[in-house]
């Protein structure tokens, strides 16, 4: 493995080390969701939510598409799902 590989892995783990981002992924693992619905489910503002989603998108974890006036997100890299399950097993 190269230094770049370790950096990417570290960035992914840092992304998962945030409760809001973990909650976003938990919501998205079942179905695609639009930003407005996630704002209500997470009880966070649009600006904060957009920053979290932008980071997850930058890392290739989520993807988005426009649906009229709405922006909807889904999990792009479903390989992340077993990682989320391992986190649950370790801590719960």
What is the domain extent for residue 73? Answer: 3-91
pLDDT > 90 in the chain, percent: 79
Q: Name the band, by pLDDT with cuts 50, 70 and 90, for residue 1.
A: confident
Number of structural domains the chain divides into? 1
Q: What is the pLDDT of residue 77?
A: 87
Residues 6+ apart with CB under 8 A from 61: 12, 15, 25, 75, 76, 77, 80
Average pLDDT of the segment spanning 72-80: 94
Q: Which of 77, 62, 70 is nearest to 21 (CA)?
A: 62
pLDDT at position 61: 96
Say which CATH number the domain at 41 has. 1.10.10.10
Cross-sheet strand order for the sheet of 33-34: 33-34, 70-75, 62-67
pLDDT in tens, 20-63: 999 999 999 999 999 999 999 999 999 999 999 999 999 999 99
Contact (CB, 8 A) for 80 and 61: yes
């Amino acid at each position: 493995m190269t230094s770049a590989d370790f950096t990417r892995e570290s960035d992914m783990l840092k992304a998962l080390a945030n409760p809001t981002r973990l909650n976003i992924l938990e919501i998205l693992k079942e179905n695609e969701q639009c930003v407005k619905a996630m704002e209500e489910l997470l009880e966070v503002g649009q600006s904060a939510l957009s920053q979290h989603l932008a980071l997850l998108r930058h890392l290739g974890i989520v993807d988005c598409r426009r649906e009229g006036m709405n922006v909807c997100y889904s999990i792009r890299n479903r390989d992340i799902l077993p990682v989320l399950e391992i986190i649950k097993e370790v801590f719960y």
